């Protein structure tokens, strides 16, 4: 795989579930969806493997059955909504547990979770397991939406001070915007004098 696809994302996280929620972005006023655009779900899975968030055993299992992008989109919409709420909501843990029930996980000798079914059910089971663990470990309290308005990414703010999903893309864009507005402001002031 070339690096081009990877750089289309403003930010790639260390968590599978956040990367799934971040499979959408705005590009020139259009909304882009990595679950259907370009290489679709398959390309996204390959990228997750490159990031070591899925291994070949898990990928092979998932590929045994088709993955339905529309079901993943519905999951994404629901959880993006939950995470966008200002108050920390009561997360619907039961719905995550249901996904795991539909494709129970077993563990290899390295404790890697492998879903018992492939396809959509398998992927959502893996993602739900990671989310339940994250919620239990207090990870979700640190999940933030990127402070750059055109960006849709969520990220984990470990320090509690981070504003952008990535400094390279969103941080620099916001800094440049601030500088531009400042320069425009001082220009306007000079003209008034």
Give whichever of 117 and 142 is closer to Zn ion, judged by the CB atom: 142
What angle is formed at CA 73 by the lines to CA 153 and CA 125, rounded to 5 degrees?
95
Give whichever of 10 and 115 is closer to Zn ion, judged by the CB atom: 10
Residues that bind Zn ion (CB under 5 A): 10, 146, 148, 151, 153, 165, 170
Please state the closest distance from residue 131 (CB atom) to Zn ion, in A: 21
Write down the residue that tokens 């000079």 correspond to: 190
Task: Give burial (CB, 10 Å; 0-12/13-18/19+) of 128.
Answer: buried
The Cα–Cα gap between 39 and 122 comes to 20
Q: Cβ(125)–Cβ(103) under 8 Å?
A: yes
Give whichever of 9 and 17 is closer to Zn ion, judged by the CB atom: 9
Give whichever of 80 and 117 is closer to Zn ion, judged by the CB atom: 80
Please state the closest distance from residue 153 (CB atom) to Zn ion, in A: 4
Give whichever of 17 and 164 is closer to Zn ion, judged by the CB atom: 164
Half-sphere CA count of 65, side-chain side, radius 13 A = 12
- Cross-strand pairs, 30: 27
CA torsion, points 165, 167, 171, 175, in degrees to nearest 10? 170
Please state the closest distance from residue 129 (CB atom) to Zn ion, in A: 26
């Amino acid at each position: 795989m070339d690096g081009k696809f990877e750089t289309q994302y403003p930010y790639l996280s260390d968590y599978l579930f956040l990367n799934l929620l971040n499979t959408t972005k705005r590009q020139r006023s259009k909304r882009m969806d990595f679950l259907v655009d370009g290489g679709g779900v398959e390309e996204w899975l390959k990228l997750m493997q490159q990031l070591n968030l899925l291994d070949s055993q898990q990928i092979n299992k998932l590929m045994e059955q088709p993955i339905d992008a529309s079901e993943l989109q519905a999951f994404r919409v629901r959880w993006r909504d939950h995470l966008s709420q200002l108050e920390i909501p009561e997360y619907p843990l039961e719905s995550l547990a249901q996904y795991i029930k539909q494709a129970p996980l077993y563990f290899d000798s390295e404790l890697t979770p492998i879903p018992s079914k492939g396809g959509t059910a398998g992927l959502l089971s893996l993602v739900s397991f990671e989310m339940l663990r994250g919620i239990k470990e207090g990870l979700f309290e640190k999940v933030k939406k990127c402070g750059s308005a055109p960006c849709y990414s969520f990220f984990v703010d470990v320090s509690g001070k981070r504003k952008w999903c990535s400094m390279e893309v969103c941080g620099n864009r916001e800094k440049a915007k601030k500088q531009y507005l400042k320069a425009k402001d001082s220009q306007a002031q000079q003209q008034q004098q």
